[in-house]
Structure 1
Amino acid sequence: MAISGAGARRRGAFCSLFAVAAATFPLESASAIGPNWPTEVVATYKLAFAGFDVGAYQFNARFNNGTYDAQAHAKVSAFFGAFKWAGNFSGKGALEPSGLRPAAFEMSYKKKKKFVSVKIGFAGRAVTAVALVPNKPPSPDTIKLKPENLKNVFDPMAAMISVSDANPSDACNRVIPVFDGKARYDLHFTFKGREPLTERRPSGQPKELIVCRVKYVPIAGHKPKDFTDPWIDYNNIEFALRAVPRAGIYVPYRVTIPSPIGNAVMTANTINITSANNQQIALTQ
Protein backbone atom coordinates (compact mmCIF):
# COMPACT_ATOMS: atom_id res chain seq x y z
CA MET A 1 0.00 0.00 0.00
CA ALA A 2 1.44 3.38 -0.95
CA ILE A 3 1.95 5.94 1.79
CA SER A 4 0.35 9.27 1.04
CA GLY A 5 2.33 12.49 1.36
CA ALA A 6 0.23 13.51 4.35
CA GLY A 7 0.79 10.13 6.00
CA ALA A 8 4.53 10.34 5.48
CA ARG A 9 4.58 13.83 6.97
CA ARG A 10 2.60 12.65 10.00
CA ARG A 11 5.05 9.83 10.59
CA GLY A 12 7.97 12.20 10.14
CA ALA A 13 6.39 14.53 12.67
CA PHE A 14 5.89 11.59 15.03
CA CYS A 15 9.61 10.76 14.80
CA SER A 16 10.48 14.40 15.47
CA LEU A 17 8.27 14.47 18.55
CA PHE A 18 10.14 11.63 20.22
CA ALA A 19 13.55 12.73 18.96
CA VAL A 20 13.02 16.08 20.71
CA ALA A 21 11.63 14.43 23.85
CA ALA A 22 14.26 11.69 24.14
CA ALA A 23 17.19 14.02 23.57
CA THR A 24 16.04 16.38 26.31
CA PHE A 25 15.08 14.13 29.13
CA PRO A 26 17.90 13.43 31.59
CA LEU A 27 18.42 14.44 35.22
CA GLU A 28 17.91 17.93 36.58
CA SER A 29 19.40 19.04 39.89
CA ALA A 30 18.01 21.61 42.29
CA SER A 31 21.24 22.35 44.12
CA ALA A 32 24.42 24.03 43.00
CA ILE A 33 27.09 21.81 41.48
CA GLY A 34 29.07 20.27 44.32
CA PRO A 35 29.11 17.47 46.90
CA ASN A 36 25.30 17.14 47.08
CA TRP A 37 25.07 15.37 43.74
CA PRO A 38 23.64 11.84 44.06
CA THR A 39 25.99 9.06 43.04
CA GLU A 40 23.49 7.38 40.70
CA VAL A 41 20.06 7.85 39.15
CA VAL A 42 18.31 5.00 37.32
CA ALA A 43 14.93 5.73 35.76
CA THR A 44 12.39 4.20 33.41
CA TYR A 45 9.65 6.08 31.59
CA LYS A 46 6.71 5.07 29.47
CA LEU A 47 6.14 6.76 26.13
CA ALA A 48 2.69 7.59 24.81
CA PHE A 49 1.35 9.25 21.71
CA ALA A 50 -2.23 10.54 21.41
CA GLY A 51 -3.15 8.53 24.51
CA PHE A 52 -1.67 5.21 23.32
CA ASP A 53 1.37 3.54 24.93
CA VAL A 54 4.03 3.26 22.24
CA GLY A 55 7.34 2.54 23.94
CA ALA A 56 9.76 2.97 26.80
CA TYR A 57 12.73 5.12 27.79
CA GLN A 58 15.54 4.06 30.14
CA PHE A 59 18.01 6.44 31.73
CA ASN A 60 21.08 5.94 33.91
CA ALA A 61 23.51 8.55 35.23
CA ARG A 62 26.52 8.25 37.54
CA PHE A 63 28.16 11.19 39.32
CA ASN A 64 31.62 10.65 40.78
CA ASN A 65 34.54 12.90 41.77
CA GLY A 66 33.26 15.94 39.92
CA THR A 67 32.28 14.11 36.73
CA TYR A 68 29.09 12.80 35.15
CA ASP A 69 28.49 9.88 32.80
CA ALA A 70 24.95 9.32 31.49
CA GLN A 71 23.33 6.88 29.07
CA ALA A 72 19.79 6.50 27.77
CA HIS A 73 17.86 4.23 25.42
CA ALA A 74 14.47 4.76 23.80
CA LYS A 75 12.34 2.34 21.82
CA VAL A 76 9.11 3.21 20.00
CA SER A 77 6.63 1.18 17.95
CA ALA A 78 3.44 2.82 16.68
CA PHE A 79 0.86 2.83 13.91
CA PHE A 80 0.44 -0.94 14.35
CA GLY A 81 4.14 -1.50 13.81
CA ALA A 82 4.38 0.68 10.69
CA PHE A 83 6.59 3.10 12.60
CA LYS A 84 9.55 1.76 14.58
CA TRP A 85 12.30 3.83 16.14
CA ALA A 86 15.14 2.96 18.54
CA GLY A 87 17.71 5.41 19.83
CA ASN A 88 20.73 5.48 22.14
CA PHE A 89 22.17 8.55 23.85
CA SER A 90 25.24 9.15 26.00
CA GLY A 91 27.04 12.13 27.45
CA LYS A 92 29.89 12.79 29.85
CA GLY A 93 31.77 15.72 31.26
CA ALA A 94 32.84 17.61 34.36
CA LEU A 95 30.90 19.21 37.22
CA GLU A 96 32.89 22.36 38.00
CA PRO A 97 32.22 25.18 40.50
CA SER A 98 31.74 27.53 37.53
CA GLY A 99 29.19 25.22 35.93
CA LEU A 100 28.78 22.13 33.82
CA ARG A 101 31.45 21.40 31.21
CA PRO A 102 30.48 18.74 28.64
CA ALA A 103 33.26 16.61 27.12
CA ALA A 104 31.44 14.32 24.67
CA PHE A 105 28.00 13.40 23.41
CA GLU A 106 26.78 10.57 21.19
CA MET A 107 23.39 9.80 19.73
CA SER A 108 22.37 7.05 17.33
CA TYR A 109 19.02 5.80 16.15
CA LYS A 110 17.58 3.37 13.69
CA LYS A 111 14.34 3.74 11.77
CA LYS A 112 13.60 0.83 9.44
CA LYS A 113 16.82 0.43 7.42
CA LYS A 114 18.06 3.96 8.09
CA PHE A 115 20.85 4.44 10.63
CA VAL A 116 21.82 7.90 11.93
CA SER A 117 24.54 8.84 14.39
CA VAL A 118 25.88 12.07 15.88
CA LYS A 119 29.09 12.55 17.85
CA ILE A 120 30.14 15.84 19.42
CA GLY A 121 33.46 16.63 21.09
CA PHE A 122 34.22 19.63 23.31
CA ALA A 123 37.29 21.47 24.52
CA GLY A 124 36.75 23.99 27.26
CA ARG A 125 33.24 25.24 26.64
CA ALA A 126 33.28 25.08 22.85
CA VAL A 127 32.47 22.41 20.27
CA THR A 128 35.64 21.19 18.57
CA ALA A 129 34.50 18.12 16.65
CA VAL A 130 31.29 16.90 15.00
CA ALA A 131 30.87 13.56 13.20
CA LEU A 132 27.60 12.79 11.40
CA VAL A 133 26.39 9.60 9.70
CA PRO A 134 25.19 10.07 7.04
CA ASN A 135 27.29 13.16 6.46
CA LYS A 136 25.28 15.04 3.87
CA PRO A 137 25.78 18.74 3.11
CA PRO A 138 23.02 20.98 4.47
CA SER A 139 20.28 22.21 2.15
CA PRO A 140 20.88 25.62 0.55
CA ASP A 141 18.03 27.10 2.61
CA THR A 142 19.54 25.99 5.94
CA ILE A 143 20.55 28.83 8.26
CA LYS A 144 24.33 28.54 8.40
CA LEU A 145 26.09 27.90 11.69
CA LYS A 146 28.55 30.60 12.73
CA PRO A 147 31.66 30.01 14.87
CA GLU A 148 30.04 31.84 17.79
CA ASN A 149 27.09 29.42 17.64
CA LEU A 150 29.42 26.64 18.84
CA LYS A 151 30.75 28.41 21.93
CA ASN A 152 29.29 28.20 25.44
CA VAL A 153 26.74 25.56 24.44
CA PHE A 154 25.58 22.24 25.82
CA ASP A 155 24.85 19.00 24.04
CA PRO A 156 21.25 17.75 24.56
CA MET A 157 22.12 15.57 27.54
CA ALA A 158 24.34 18.14 29.25
CA ALA A 159 21.70 20.80 28.65
CA MET A 160 19.27 19.32 31.12
CA ILE A 161 21.92 18.51 33.72
CA SER A 162 22.98 22.18 33.49
CA VAL A 163 19.67 23.14 35.07
CA SER A 164 21.47 22.20 38.32
CA ASP A 165 22.40 25.85 38.86
CA ALA A 166 18.73 26.60 39.57
CA ASN A 167 17.44 28.06 42.79
CA PRO A 168 14.94 25.50 44.14
CA SER A 169 12.34 28.24 44.58
CA ASP A 170 12.71 29.29 40.94
CA ALA A 171 13.37 26.10 38.94
CA CYS A 172 11.65 27.32 35.76
CA ASN A 173 13.43 30.56 34.96
CA ARG A 174 16.34 30.00 32.59
CA VAL A 175 17.55 29.84 28.99
CA ILE A 176 19.61 26.80 27.97
CA PRO A 177 21.78 27.06 24.80
CA VAL A 178 21.97 23.72 22.95
CA PHE A 179 23.83 22.29 19.94
CA ASP A 180 22.73 18.80 18.85
CA GLY A 181 25.27 18.21 16.07
CA LYS A 182 23.25 19.92 13.38
CA ALA A 183 21.05 22.58 14.92
CA ARG A 184 21.75 25.31 17.43
CA TYR A 185 18.74 26.32 19.53
CA ASP A 186 17.73 27.78 22.88
CA LEU A 187 15.32 26.25 25.39
CA HIS A 188 13.41 29.00 27.23
CA PHE A 189 12.04 27.76 30.57
CA THR A 190 9.29 29.74 32.33
CA PHE A 191 7.09 28.90 35.29
CA LYS A 192 3.63 27.57 34.40
CA GLY A 193 2.23 26.22 37.65
CA ARG A 194 2.13 23.46 40.24
CA GLU A 195 0.06 20.30 40.46
CA PRO A 196 -0.52 17.66 43.17
CA LEU A 197 0.93 14.19 42.79
CA THR A 198 -0.25 10.82 44.06
CA GLU A 199 2.02 7.83 44.74
CA ARG A 200 1.37 4.10 44.81
CA ARG A 201 4.10 3.74 47.42
CA PRO A 202 4.91 6.70 49.72
CA SER A 203 8.48 7.92 49.16
CA GLY A 204 8.57 10.61 51.83
CA GLN A 205 9.26 13.26 49.18
CA PRO A 206 6.98 16.25 48.40
CA LYS A 207 3.86 15.20 46.49
CA GLU A 208 3.92 18.09 44.05
CA LEU A 209 5.13 18.77 40.52
CA ILE A 210 6.57 22.07 39.36
CA VAL A 211 5.45 22.60 35.77
CA CYS A 212 7.66 24.57 33.37
CA ARG A 213 6.64 25.83 29.96
CA VAL A 214 9.55 25.34 27.55
CA LYS A 215 9.86 27.21 24.27
CA TYR A 216 12.17 25.82 21.57
CA VAL A 217 13.82 28.77 19.79
CA PRO A 218 15.83 27.93 16.62
CA ILE A 219 19.09 29.85 16.17
CA ALA A 220 20.98 28.18 13.28
CA GLY A 221 21.37 24.88 11.44
CA HIS A 222 17.64 24.71 10.67
CA LYS A 223 15.45 25.40 7.66
CA PRO A 224 13.08 28.33 8.27
CA LYS A 225 10.25 26.53 6.45
CA ASP A 226 10.32 23.83 9.16
CA PHE A 227 9.10 26.43 11.62
CA THR A 228 6.37 27.87 9.44
CA ASP A 229 3.15 26.22 10.59
CA PRO A 230 5.10 23.27 12.09
CA TRP A 231 3.58 19.98 13.24
CA ILE A 232 5.19 20.34 16.66
CA ASP A 233 4.04 23.16 18.94
CA TYR A 234 7.52 24.42 19.77
CA ASN A 235 6.15 27.21 21.96
CA ASN A 236 4.35 25.01 24.50
CA ILE A 237 6.57 22.06 25.40
CA GLU A 238 6.01 21.18 29.05
CA PHE A 239 8.37 19.80 31.70
CA ALA A 240 6.87 18.68 35.02
CA LEU A 241 9.65 18.40 37.62
CA ARG A 242 9.58 16.74 41.02
CA ALA A 243 11.73 17.90 43.90
CA VAL A 244 13.60 15.21 45.83
CA PRO A 245 15.05 17.10 48.84
CA ARG A 246 16.72 14.03 50.36
CA ALA A 247 18.91 13.82 47.24
CA GLY A 248 19.11 17.58 46.61
CA ILE A 249 17.72 17.23 43.10
CA TYR A 250 14.74 17.71 40.82
CA VAL A 251 13.84 14.86 38.47
CA PRO A 252 11.69 15.12 35.32
CA TYR A 253 8.41 13.36 36.03
CA ARG A 254 6.68 14.16 32.77
CA VAL A 255 7.55 15.78 29.45
CA THR A 256 4.81 16.74 27.02
CA ILE A 257 5.36 17.84 23.41
CA PRO A 258 2.07 18.94 21.84
CA SER A 259 1.10 18.71 18.19
CA PRO A 260 -2.13 18.85 16.15
CA ILE A 261 -1.94 15.08 15.59
CA GLY A 262 -1.60 14.28 19.30
CA ASN A 263 0.76 14.79 22.21
CA ALA A 264 4.01 12.90 22.69
CA VAL A 265 4.32 12.27 26.42
CA MET A 266 7.03 10.74 28.59
CA THR A 267 5.89 9.81 32.10
CA ALA A 268 8.01 8.44 34.92
CA ASN A 269 7.41 4.82 35.80
CA THR A 270 10.20 4.21 38.34
CA ILE A 271 13.04 6.43 39.52
CA ASN A 272 15.71 5.04 41.85
CA ILE A 273 18.24 7.42 43.36
CA THR A 274 21.35 6.75 45.40
CA SER A 275 22.09 9.96 47.29
CA ALA A 276 25.55 11.27 48.16
CA ASN A 277 25.28 9.71 51.64
CA ASN A 278 24.20 6.35 50.15
CA GLN A 279 20.50 6.71 50.97
CA GLN A 280 18.23 4.82 48.59
CA ILE A 281 15.20 6.75 47.33
CA ALA A 282 12.56 5.05 45.20
CA LEU A 283 9.86 6.98 43.33
CA THR A 284 7.01 5.22 41.55
CA GLN A 285 4.15 6.65 39.51
Structure 2
Amino acid sequence: MRLFALAFLSLLLISGEAPASDLYLKYKLYALGLPIGSGTLSVSLNEETYSLKSSGQTAAFGRLVSDGKGTVEVRGGLNGGTLVPESYSLKVNSEDDTGTVSMQMKAGKVAKVAVNPPQDRMKERIKVTAEHLQKVLDPLSAALLPAPKGLEPDSCNRSLQLYDGKERYNVHLSYKTKRKAKTADGRFKGDVLVCKARYEPIAGHRPKRKTIQELARNKSIEVWLAPVGEASYLVPLRASIKAPFGALVVQAEKYKLSN
Protein backbone atom coordinates (compact mmCIF):
# COMPACT_ATOMS: atom_id res chain seq x y z
CA MET A 1 0.00 0.00 0.00
CA ARG A 2 3.05 2.28 0.21
CA LEU A 3 2.63 3.17 -3.49
CA PHE A 4 -0.58 5.02 -2.81
CA ALA A 5 0.96 7.00 0.00
CA LEU A 6 3.64 8.02 -2.44
CA ALA A 7 1.27 8.74 -5.17
CA PHE A 8 -0.90 11.02 -3.06
CA LEU A 9 1.05 8.92 -3.07
CA SER A 10 -2.96 16.09 -4.59
CA LEU A 11 -3.21 25.60 -8.30
CA LEU A 12 -1.59 28.53 -8.06
CA LEU A 13 -3.29 31.82 -9.05
CA ILE A 14 -1.45 34.59 -10.84
CA SER A 15 -2.95 37.85 -9.56
CA GLY A 16 -3.41 39.30 -6.10
CA GLU A 17 -7.12 39.80 -5.56
CA ALA A 18 -8.30 36.53 -7.13
CA PRO A 19 -9.91 33.95 -4.82
CA ALA A 20 -8.23 30.63 -4.03
CA SER A 21 -8.63 27.66 -6.34
CA ASP A 22 -10.00 24.54 -4.65
CA LEU A 23 -9.84 21.03 -6.04
CA TYR A 24 -11.70 17.97 -4.76
CA LEU A 25 -10.87 14.46 -5.99
CA LYS A 26 -12.48 11.18 -5.03
CA TYR A 27 -10.58 7.99 -5.72
CA LYS A 28 -11.32 4.27 -5.71
CA LEU A 29 -8.82 1.52 -4.99
CA TYR A 30 -9.01 -1.66 -7.07
CA ALA A 31 -7.30 -5.02 -6.60
CA LEU A 32 -7.63 -7.48 -9.49
CA GLY A 33 -10.32 -5.17 -10.89
CA LEU A 34 -12.43 -5.34 -7.71
CA PRO A 35 -13.14 -2.19 -5.65
CA ILE A 36 -11.65 -2.58 -2.17
CA GLY A 37 -11.30 1.00 -0.95
CA SER A 38 -11.91 4.69 -1.52
CA GLY A 39 -10.32 8.00 -0.67
CA THR A 40 -10.54 11.75 -1.17
CA LEU A 41 -8.08 14.57 -1.71
CA SER A 42 -8.88 18.26 -1.17
CA VAL A 43 -6.46 20.98 -2.31
CA SER A 44 -6.65 24.67 -1.41
CA LEU A 45 -4.24 27.40 -2.48
CA ASN A 46 -3.87 31.11 -2.47
CA GLU A 47 -0.85 33.19 -3.44
CA GLU A 48 1.13 32.50 -0.27
CA THR A 49 -0.18 29.30 1.34
CA TYR A 50 -1.55 25.86 0.54
CA SER A 51 -3.30 23.07 2.40
CA LEU A 52 -4.16 19.49 1.51
CA LYS A 53 -6.47 17.04 3.24
CA SER A 54 -6.90 13.38 2.43
CA SER A 55 -8.90 10.52 3.91
CA GLY A 56 -9.37 6.92 2.91
CA GLN A 57 -10.60 3.50 3.91
CA THR A 58 -10.07 -0.06 2.76
CA ALA A 59 -12.08 -3.24 3.06
CA ALA A 60 -10.57 -6.64 3.84
CA PHE A 61 -9.37 -8.45 0.72
CA GLY A 62 -8.13 -11.90 1.72
CA ARG A 63 -4.69 -11.65 3.29
CA LEU A 64 -3.61 -8.79 1.07
CA VAL A 65 -5.53 -5.83 2.50
CA SER A 66 -7.14 -5.39 5.92
CA ASP A 67 -9.98 -3.19 7.10
CA GLY A 68 -8.68 0.26 7.87
CA LYS A 69 -9.14 4.00 7.65
CA GLY A 70 -6.99 7.07 7.92
CA THR A 71 -6.75 10.83 7.55
CA VAL A 72 -3.82 13.09 6.74
CA GLU A 73 -3.48 16.86 6.53
CA VAL A 74 -0.68 19.24 5.61
CA ARG A 75 -0.32 23.02 5.59
CA GLY A 76 2.47 25.15 4.27
CA GLY A 77 3.65 28.16 2.34
CA LEU A 78 4.45 28.87 -1.30
CA ASN A 79 7.77 30.35 -2.35
CA GLY A 80 7.91 31.15 -6.06
CA GLY A 81 5.60 28.23 -6.80
CA THR A 82 7.60 25.84 -4.61
CA LEU A 83 5.80 24.07 -1.77
CA VAL A 84 7.29 24.66 1.68
CA PRO A 85 5.42 22.38 4.13
CA GLU A 86 5.04 23.55 7.72
CA SER A 87 2.82 21.00 9.49
CA TYR A 88 1.86 17.39 8.75
CA SER A 89 -0.60 15.21 10.68
CA LEU A 90 -1.51 11.56 10.06
CA LYS A 91 -3.99 9.28 11.84
CA VAL A 92 -4.31 5.60 10.91
CA ASN A 93 -6.51 2.86 12.35
CA SER A 94 -6.28 -0.63 10.83
CA GLU A 95 -5.56 -4.21 11.74
CA ASP A 96 -1.95 -3.80 10.63
CA ASP A 97 -1.11 -0.30 11.80
CA THR A 98 -2.73 2.07 14.29
CA GLY A 99 -1.30 5.34 15.47
CA THR A 100 -0.50 8.98 14.75
CA VAL A 101 2.35 10.97 13.25
CA SER A 102 2.81 14.71 13.50
CA MET A 103 5.62 16.81 12.06
CA GLN A 104 6.65 20.42 12.18
CA MET A 105 8.80 21.62 9.28
CA LYS A 106 10.61 24.85 8.48
CA ALA A 107 12.35 25.92 5.28
CA GLY A 108 12.48 22.35 3.96
CA LYS A 109 13.84 20.88 7.20
CA VAL A 110 12.06 18.68 9.72
CA ALA A 111 12.07 20.53 13.05
CA LYS A 112 10.00 18.20 15.24
CA VAL A 113 8.46 14.74 14.92
CA ALA A 114 6.07 12.86 17.22
CA VAL A 115 5.21 9.21 16.46
CA ASN A 116 2.72 7.31 18.61
CA PRO A 117 3.27 4.46 19.22
CA PRO A 118 7.03 4.64 18.60
CA GLN A 119 8.58 2.47 15.91
CA ASP A 120 9.70 -1.01 16.90
CA ARG A 121 12.81 -3.01 15.91
CA MET A 122 14.95 0.10 15.83
CA LYS A 123 18.19 -1.93 15.79
CA GLU A 124 17.09 -3.47 12.49
CA ARG A 125 16.39 -0.10 10.85
CA ILE A 126 18.79 2.20 9.03
CA LYS A 127 19.18 5.23 11.27
CA VAL A 128 17.55 8.49 10.16
CA THR A 129 20.11 11.28 10.57
CA ALA A 130 19.76 15.05 10.69
CA GLU A 131 21.16 15.20 7.15
CA HIS A 132 18.31 12.96 5.94
CA LEU A 133 15.77 15.50 7.21
CA GLN A 134 16.87 18.43 5.07
CA LYS A 135 15.29 19.49 1.77
CA VAL A 136 12.39 17.05 2.12
CA LEU A 137 8.65 16.97 1.48
CA ASP A 138 5.99 15.06 3.33
CA PRO A 139 4.16 12.40 1.25
CA LEU A 140 0.92 14.39 0.95
CA SER A 141 2.60 17.58 -0.29
CA ALA A 142 4.18 15.40 -2.98
CA ALA A 143 0.70 14.93 -4.47
CA LEU A 144 0.74 18.56 -5.65
CA LEU A 145 3.49 18.90 -8.23
CA PRO A 146 4.65 22.32 -9.45
CA ALA A 147 4.66 22.24 -13.26
CA PRO A 148 5.43 25.64 -14.82
CA LYS A 149 5.93 23.91 -18.19
CA GLY A 150 2.55 22.16 -18.00
CA LEU A 151 2.13 18.80 -19.71
CA GLU A 152 5.70 18.57 -20.97
CA PRO A 153 8.05 15.60 -20.33
CA ASP A 154 10.12 17.73 -17.95
CA SER A 155 7.14 17.86 -15.61
CA CYS A 156 7.57 14.11 -15.10
CA ASN A 157 11.35 14.06 -14.87
CA ARG A 158 12.10 14.77 -11.22
CA SER A 159 13.06 13.10 -7.95
CA LEU A 160 11.03 13.65 -4.77
CA GLN A 161 12.80 13.48 -1.41
CA LEU A 162 10.16 12.35 1.08
CA TYR A 163 9.89 11.79 4.83
CA ASP A 164 6.74 10.46 6.47
CA GLY A 165 7.81 10.79 10.12
CA LYS A 166 9.21 7.28 10.18
CA GLU A 167 10.96 6.55 6.92
CA ARG A 168 13.02 8.63 4.51
CA TYR A 169 12.77 7.60 0.84
CA ASN A 170 12.97 8.98 -2.68
CA VAL A 171 10.48 8.63 -5.51
CA HIS A 172 12.08 9.00 -8.93
CA LEU A 173 9.67 10.00 -11.71
CA SER A 174 10.44 9.77 -15.41
CA TYR A 175 8.42 10.51 -18.52
CA LYS A 176 6.76 7.60 -20.31
CA THR A 177 4.07 9.07 -22.56
CA LYS A 178 1.13 11.43 -22.86
CA ARG A 179 -2.43 10.17 -23.29
CA LYS A 180 -6.10 11.08 -23.05
CA ALA A 181 -8.00 10.36 -19.84
CA LYS A 182 -11.26 11.21 -18.14
CA THR A 183 -12.96 10.73 -14.80
CA ALA A 184 -16.18 8.77 -14.37
CA ASP A 185 -18.10 11.95 -13.51
CA GLY A 186 -16.98 13.57 -16.79
CA ARG A 187 -15.66 16.69 -15.06
CA PHE A 188 -12.14 15.99 -16.17
CA LYS A 189 -11.44 15.04 -19.77
CA GLY A 190 -8.17 15.76 -21.49
CA ASP A 191 -4.45 15.06 -21.70
CA VAL A 192 -2.44 13.60 -18.83
CA LEU A 193 1.23 12.79 -18.38
CA VAL A 194 2.07 9.15 -17.71
CA CYS A 195 5.16 8.93 -15.52
CA LYS A 196 7.10 5.88 -14.46
CA ALA A 197 7.91 5.86 -10.74
CA ARG A 198 10.67 4.13 -8.81
CA TYR A 199 10.89 3.80 -5.04
CA GLU A 200 14.28 4.15 -3.36
CA PRO A 201 14.52 3.48 0.40
CA ILE A 202 16.99 5.74 2.21
CA ALA A 203 16.58 5.42 5.98
CA GLY A 204 14.15 4.40 8.72
CA HIS A 205 13.30 1.13 6.97
CA ARG A 206 14.35 -2.46 7.66
CA PRO A 207 16.56 -3.31 4.67
CA LYS A 208 16.06 -7.07 5.07
CA ARG A 209 12.29 -6.79 4.90
CA LYS A 210 11.00 -8.59 1.81
CA THR A 211 8.28 -6.06 0.95
CA ILE A 212 10.82 -3.20 0.93
CA GLN A 213 13.16 -5.15 -1.34
CA GLU A 214 10.34 -6.08 -3.74
CA LEU A 215 9.05 -2.52 -3.96
CA ALA A 216 12.54 -1.14 -4.63
CA ARG A 217 12.92 -3.62 -7.50
CA ASN A 218 9.46 -3.03 -8.94
CA LYS A 219 9.58 -1.32 -12.35
CA SER A 220 5.84 -1.36 -13.06
CA ILE A 221 4.76 1.67 -11.01
CA GLU A 222 2.98 4.37 -13.03
CA VAL A 223 1.37 7.68 -12.08
CA TRP A 224 -0.92 9.68 -14.35
CA LEU A 225 -0.67 13.43 -13.73
CA ALA A 226 -3.54 15.75 -14.61
CA PRO A 227 -3.52 19.57 -14.80
CA VAL A 228 -5.54 21.67 -12.38
CA GLY A 229 -7.40 24.00 -14.72
CA GLU A 230 -4.98 26.66 -15.97
CA ALA A 231 -2.83 26.52 -12.82
CA SER A 232 0.83 25.55 -12.87
CA TYR A 233 0.35 22.37 -10.85
CA LEU A 234 -0.40 18.72 -11.54
CA VAL A 235 -2.15 16.12 -9.37
CA PRO A 236 -2.34 12.32 -9.61
CA LEU A 237 -5.37 11.08 -11.53
CA ARG A 238 -4.32 7.44 -11.38
CA ALA A 239 -1.58 5.29 -9.84
CA SER A 240 -0.90 1.62 -10.47
CA ILE A 241 1.50 -1.17 -9.61
CA LYS A 242 1.82 -4.79 -10.69
CA ALA A 243 2.14 -6.99 -7.61
CA PRO A 244 2.81 -10.76 -7.48
CA PHE A 245 -0.92 -11.45 -7.01
CA GLY A 246 -2.08 -8.98 -9.71
CA ALA A 247 -2.62 -5.27 -10.29
CA LEU A 248 -3.40 -2.61 -7.70
CA VAL A 249 -4.90 0.62 -9.09
CA VAL A 250 -6.02 3.91 -7.58
CA GLN A 251 -8.28 5.80 -9.98
CA ALA A 252 -9.90 9.23 -9.61
CA GLU A 253 -13.64 8.91 -10.17
CA LYS A 254 -14.68 12.46 -9.27
CA TYR A 255 -12.92 15.73 -10.08
CA LYS A 256 -14.34 19.04 -8.96
CA LEU A 257 -12.50 22.31 -9.52
CA SER A 258 -13.92 25.59 -8.26
CA ASN A 259 -12.52 29.09 -8.66
Give the direction of change, closer, same or farther, for the CA distance of 1:233–1:48 in structure 2 (3 Å limit): farther
**CA offsets 1:101-134 (integer angstroms, 9 cap, x no match):** 1001111111139522111111222101111111
Instruction: Return the letter of the residue paired with 1:188.
Output: H
Partner of 2:163 in structure 1?
179
Q: Secondary structure at the match of 1:20?
A: helix
Match of 1:262 among 242, 246, 250: 246
Structure 2 residue aligned with 1:271: 255
Farther-moved stretch of structure 1 (256-265 vs 87-96): 256-265
Shift in alpha-carbon separation, 1:218–1:69, aligned structure 2, 3 A: same
2:98 corresponds in structure 1 to 115
Point out where structure 2 has 5 or more consecutive residues left out of the alignment. none
Which of 76, 79, 82 is residue 61 of structure 2 equivalent to? Answer: 79
| Equivalent residues in 2 for 1:1-285, closer than 5 Å | 17=1, 19-22=2-5, 24-25=7-8, 27=10, 35=14, 39-79=21-61, 83-97=66-80, 99-112=82-95, 115-161=98-144, 163-168=145-150, 169=152, 170-197=154-181, 207-226=190-209, 229-230=213-214, 234-274=218-258, 278=259
Q: Measure the CA separation in 2 of the matches of 1:35 and 1:144.
A: 42
> Are the equivalent residues in 2 in contact too, given 1:69–1:90 (CA < 8 A)?
yes
Residues 230 and 253 of structure 1, relative CA distance in 2, 3 Å threshold: same
Q: How many residues align?
A: 252
* RMSD, matched Cα: 2.7
TM-score by length of 1: 0.78
- Separation in 2 of the partners of 1:151 and 1:138? 24
Cα deviation 1:232-263 (Å, max 9, x = unaligned): 86433210122345344433211112211222
Mapped to 1, the partners of 2:48 and 2:93 lie a distance apart of: 33
Q: Distance between the aligned counterparts of 1:269 and 1:87, measured in 2?
A: 19
Deviation string for 1:213-238 (max 9, x for gaps)?
01011111111112575268643321
- Worse-matched range after superposition: 131-140 or 46-55: 131-140
Query: Which segment is superposed worse, 72-81 or 98-107?
Result: 72-81
Q: How far does the alpha carbon of each residue in 1:17-62 deviate from its partner, in whole angstroms, 9 at most, with x for none?
A: 2x430453172x6xxx663795211110111112110111111121
Go from structure 1 to structure 2 and tell me whether the alpha carbon gap of 1:165 and 1:73 turns closer, same or farther (over 3 Å shift).
same
**Can you give the 5+ residue segments of structure 1 that lack an aligned partner in the other structure?**
1-16, 279-285
Instruction: Return the alpha-carbon distance in structure 2 between the equivalents of residues 66 and 180 of structure 1.
Output: 24
Identity rate, percent:
26
Q: Can you list the C-alpha shifts for 1:194-228, whole angstroms capped at 9, x where unaligned?
A: 2333566765x762221000101111111111257
Range moving further from structure 2, 82-91 or 263-272: 82-91
Normalised to the residue count of structure 2, the TM-score between the two structures is 0.86
Code of the residue aligned with 1:140 in structure 2: it is: K
Q: 1:259 to 1:90 in 2, by over 3 A?
A: same
More deviation, 79-88/252-261:
79-88
Which residue of structure 2 aligns with residue 14 of structure 1?
A: none
Residues 120 and 127 of structure 1 are in contact (CA less than 8 Å); yes or no, is this contact kept in structure 2?
yes
Q: Based on CA coordinates, which of the two structures has the bigger radius of gyration? A: 1
